[in-house]
């Protein structure tokens, strides 16, 4: 997750100091103008809470300084529901736009617990993934839909339980005697994050592993 901070939290001020925070942004350079058709924003979430993401704005430009900015969404709050939690905010463009740069703005978030009446403002702007969907250029091709590869190779998992021994061996691509030891009894699991969505064809291990895509 990429996280930036909109301002300093102050629990003695109204809304934790929200009024003094800044609208902050992430900016991406595609390297050249591209014909953009849609944008997907995947944000952070909490197990027992729902967010309202504050002052969202998405804009694109042909210039790095955004002197010719074209606003595609906002400025508006985006409220998460139980049905949309962790799902992408999708901005579909009726008419595609051509741009080289994109900025995604936000000013913190408001959290509402789902297991109590507590709510409050947080200064974090957390994004798990940003997808900008563009038309293929001449000469560009989509990868073979049937192409498969080991997407866990070389990735270190999150471990539920005690610190493991030799954890890198769990995803080194070798099925040999250089193995990882979990060091926990009872319920325990490993979790891999792949950053993107994949169609998983198979998984293999010498012990049960909880896979997450």
Give Cα separations from 111 to 7, 118, 204 (angstroms): 16, 8, 39
Q: Is 206 left (phi over 0), alpha (psi -120 to 50) or beta?
A: alpha
Could you read off the pLDDT of 37-54 as tens digits, one per residue? 999 999 988 888 999 999
Q: Is pLDDT at 212 greater than 60 in this prediction?
A: no
Mean pLDDT of the 122-137 span: 91
pLDDT at 136: 86
State how beta strands 189-191 and 158-160 pair.
Answer: antiparallel
Could you read off the pLDDT of 48-98 as tens digits, one per residue? 899 999 999 999 999 999 999 999 998 999 999 999 988 999 999 999 999
Rounded distance between C-alpha atoms, residue 75 and residue 54, angstroms: 9
Query: At 197, is the pLDDT very low, low, confident or very high (cuts 50, 70, 90)?
Result: low
Query: At 10, is the pLDDT very low, low, confident or very high (cuts 50, 70, 90)?
Result: very high
Contact 122, 131 (CB under 8 A): no
pLDDT at 145: 57
Q: Is pLDDT at 180 greater than 80 in this prediction?
A: no
Phi, psi (deg, nearest 5) at residue 180: -90, 150
Q: Is pLDDT at 133 greater than 80 in this prediction?
A: yes
pTM exceeds 0.85 for this model: no
Could you read off the pLDDT of 158-169 as tens digits, one per residue? 776 667 787 777
């Amino acid at each position: 997750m990429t996280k930036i901070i909109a301002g300093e939290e102050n629990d003695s001020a109204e809304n934790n100091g929200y009024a003094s925070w800044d609208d902050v942004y992430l900016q991406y350079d595609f390297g050249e103008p591209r014909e953009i058709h849609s944008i997907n924003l995947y944000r952070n979430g909490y197990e027992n809470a729902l967010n309202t993401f504050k002052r969202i704005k998405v804009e694109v430009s042909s210039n790095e300084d955004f002197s010719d900015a074209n606003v595609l969404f906002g400025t508006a709050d985006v409220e998460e529901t139980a049905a949309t939690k962790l799902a992408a905010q999708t901005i579909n463009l009726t008419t595609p736009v051509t741009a080289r740069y994109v900025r995604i703005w936000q000013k913190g978030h408001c959290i509402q617990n789902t297991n109590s009446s507590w709510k409050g403002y947080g200064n974090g702007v957390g994004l798990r993934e940003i997808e900008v969907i563009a038309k293929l250029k001449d000469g560009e091709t989509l990868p073979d839909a049937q192409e498969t590869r080991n997407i866990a190779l070389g990735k270190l998992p999150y471990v539920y339980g005690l610190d493991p021994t030799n954890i890198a061996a769990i995803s080194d691509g070798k099925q040999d005697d250089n193995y990882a030891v979990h060091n926990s009894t009872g319920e325990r699991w490993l979790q891999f994050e792949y950053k993107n969505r994949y169609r998983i064809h198979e998984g293999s291990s010498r012990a049960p592993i909880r896979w997450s895509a």
